[in-house]
Amino acid sequence: VLMHRLVGAALRQCTVASMDILFDAGEEARRMYFVKSGDFEYRLRTSELLVPPLQPQECVAEAALWTNWRHLGSLQALSPSELIQVDAAKFGEEMLKHPSGWTISRSYAEDFLMRLNEMPTDTLSDILRHSDNGFWTPPRSPDAAEASGDTAELPSPTCNRTPTC
């Protein structure tokens, strides 16, 4: 039942044209995206390019589901492309209706935010990839600077998207 409700309420397939911009740095993140097909260019605010580029099934802006998030870069389609959008507010509303789903997602959100807060601030990105040791690592171009060791202070993973919390 939960999956059926999530698909109906929070997920949407999105088709974009070549050169369409999905988001820019500094904008409030209200959606998470899964790449279905196509070519995209993601650039950090510093103009640093994502290397390697996004691949099908990769996730963009997952933090939007778990905390208040502003995009740290821009995402542009380089060819006609397809994505699956997850509306963060609707995702939260649906999860609140199902105690077991809420418990599991809350536990995951706590772990996600703990790992996000462990990352040096200058390595944060809208795109997080797993490394061999299980920690998320951001995309880095070959000439990227060494991490500074600073951490981001993000809010705790409580529901702040709906008035029913």
What's residue 14's pLDDT? Answer: 93
Listing from the earlier edge strand, what are the strands of the sheet with 21-23? Answer: 21-23, 73-77, 40-44
For range 75-91, the mean pLDDT: 95
161 inside domain: no
For range 132-154, the mean pLDDT: 47
Domain that holds residue 102: 2-137
For residue 2, name the pLDDT band (cuts at 50, 70, 90).
low
For residue 154, name the pLDDT band (cuts at 50, 70, 90).
very low
What's residue 159's pLDDT? Answer: 32
44 inside domain: yes
27 inside domain: yes
54 inside domain: yes
Answer whether residue 139 shows pLDDT above 60: no
Q: Indicate which CATH number applies to the domain containing 56.
A: 2.60.120.10
Residue with tokens 């995206």: 33
Digit-coded pLDDT (tens) for 87-115:
999 988 888 888 888 888 899 999 999 98
Using CA atoms, how far apart are residues 98 and 102, in angstroms rounded to an integer?
6
65 inside domain: yes
For the whole model, what pTM was predicted?
A: 0.77
Domain count, the chain: 1
Digit-coded pLDDT (tens) for 53-65:
899 999 999 999 9
What's residue 99's pLDDT? Answer: 84
121 inside domain: yes
Sign of the C-alpha dihedral, residues 86, 88, 94, 99? Answer: positive
Digit-coded pLDDT (tens) for 22-72:
999 999 999 999 999 999 999 999 888 988 889 999 999 999 999 999 999
Using CA atoms, how far apart are residues 157 and 134, in angstroms rounded to an integer?
20
157 inside domain: no
14 inside domain: yes
What's residue 9's pLDDT? Answer: 72
What's residue 36's pLDDT? Answer: 96
Q: What is the mean pLDDT of the chain?
A: 80
- The DSSP code sequence of 84-145 is EEEEHHHHHHHHHT-HHHHHHHHHHHHHHHHHHHHSBGGG--S--EE-TTS-EE----TTPP
